[in-house]
Structure 1
């Protein structure tokens, strides 16, 4: 694929993770199954700890909101103070987590608990974060040219830092100037990108966003960011209209620094 030059105004790169820096298979075949297989054991081991109690409390608030908005799902109290039967209380949380995951929900409550379960796994080497081989050299090149590099993912900031901090290539956290998750807003809403620009301290026109999801690309463009859609093996197929509509890259090495292509 021909080289694509970043717009001359580019001061910062904003990167998606899944399908962009990291194979979708890592998330779908390793991270998510790990949660399903280990959430019950994790909750049983950490149930009385403050962090776990806070995670469950956040899930409870989400469940209450879901009930108010008539979303189908397990109807449970999700309240540690109600149950004398700890095993039953834990099972309610497990049921809720598995239901949210089956529905591919991106709630902050779910992501926070997932992040804590992954943290325990990364720390003992059960999981190592995967990155495409073109990612690290490209980011190092961008940073040498004075560009800032940020991550924006629906996974929690903590989960992002674990993936890059315990990666197959070692600790890569020094490569990033900051991390954003759904606390700043959903990735398909243009206001989220405006907030990110404000947080970074630059104009939306100064940021280039790389993602494999065209709905996110559209939202970012509406906010004024420049965008390239990343085409990787295993990513969702683009329609012909999407292929002609967006700038496409198959590797970070396809992206040339401003004025060099």
Structure 2
């Protein structure tokens, strides 16, 4: 793929994570299996802690909301023995994950488990080889760097704070998650521009998802599609419609020969 000149108006780069800075397989093959393999152990170890108790309470409340869903798994009441509650909570978590659900209760527990895993070195955030050199170069060129991911801000900070390349948070100026809106809605990108303190045309958004790219473009944001191994294949129409990059090194800043 050819080098892609970065428009002179761009002062901020907004980055997706999965399939853009980080292999999709990291979430699928590392983060999610970690939860499945260690949730029972985690609940047993942290059971006396208030945070753990709150996680289970939230799972129980979500289970009550799901009582009409086919195959739902209840979480026993707090009056039951801990072993019984833990078993129910584990089964509920595995059931939710099997359906790829994104409930707040599930994401909260997952976030706490991943925080522990990162902090103890059991998990390290993966980034492509070209990411760190590019981020450093862009920051030296006075571009502001931001993350926009469907994963929580906390999860984002864990991935970049405990990455295989060390702590990368000092390279980033801020983080956005779906609390600003869906990634496939144009309004989300306008809100981000407002919060950054610039106009949409000052932002370059890098993502592997064409629906996200289209939403950003409709908001007036510059976009490019990351074509990485394992990412969803693009149609010929999509290939002709968007700028494509297979490496961040292909982005050429205005002052770069």
TM-score higher than 0.5: yes
Distance in 1 of aligned mates of 2:204 and 2:70: 38
1:86 aligned partner: 82
Q: Deviations over 1:171-224 (max 9, x none)?
A: 111011111222222222222222222221222222111111112212222222
Residue ranges of structure 1 left out of the alignment (5+ in a row): none
Q: Give SS of 1:236's match.
A: coil
Say how many residue pairs are matched: 257
Distance in 2 of aligned mates of 1:201 and 1:248: 27
1:95 lines up with 2:91 in the alignment: yes
1:151–1:178 contact (8 Å) kept in structure 2: yes
Alpha-carbon distance change, 139 to 104 in structure 1, aligned in 2, over 3 angstroms: same
Q: TM-score if structure 1 supplies the norm length?
A: 0.89
Corresponding residue to 1:254 among 245, 250, 256: 250
2:221 aligned partner: 225
Q: Superposition pairs for residues 13-24 of structure 1, below 5 Å?
A: 13-24=13-24
Shift of 1:71: 4.9
Shift of 1:239: 1.3
Distance in 1 of aligned mates of 2:181 and 2:104: 10
Q: Deviations over 1:141-195 (max 9, x none)?
A: 1111111101111222222111111111111110111112222222222222222
1:212–1:235 contact (8 Å) kept in structure 2: yes
1:34 lines up with 2:34 in the alignment: yes
1:5–1:256 contact (8 Å) kept in structure 2: yes
Distance in 1 of aligned mates of 2:9 and 2:182: 25
Moved more, 111-120 or 135-144: 111-120
Q: What's the Cα RMSD here? A: 2.1
1:157 aligned partner: 153
1:146 aligned partner: 142
Q: Superposition pairs for residues 157-236 of structure 1, below 5 Å?
A: 157-236=153-232
Distance in 1 of aligned mates of 2:252 and 2:175: 23
Q: Give SS of 2:17's match.
A: coil
Distance in 1 of aligned mates of 2:9 and 2:255: 10
Distance in 2 of aligned mates of 1:171 and 1:63: 37
1:56–1:79 contact (8 Å) kept in structure 2: no
Q: TM-score if structure 2 supplies the norm length?
A: 0.91
Shift of 1:100: 2.6
2:224–2:244 contact (8 Å) kept in structure 1: yes
Shift of 1:72: 4.3
Q: Give SS of 1:199's match.
A: helix
2:72 aligned partner: 74
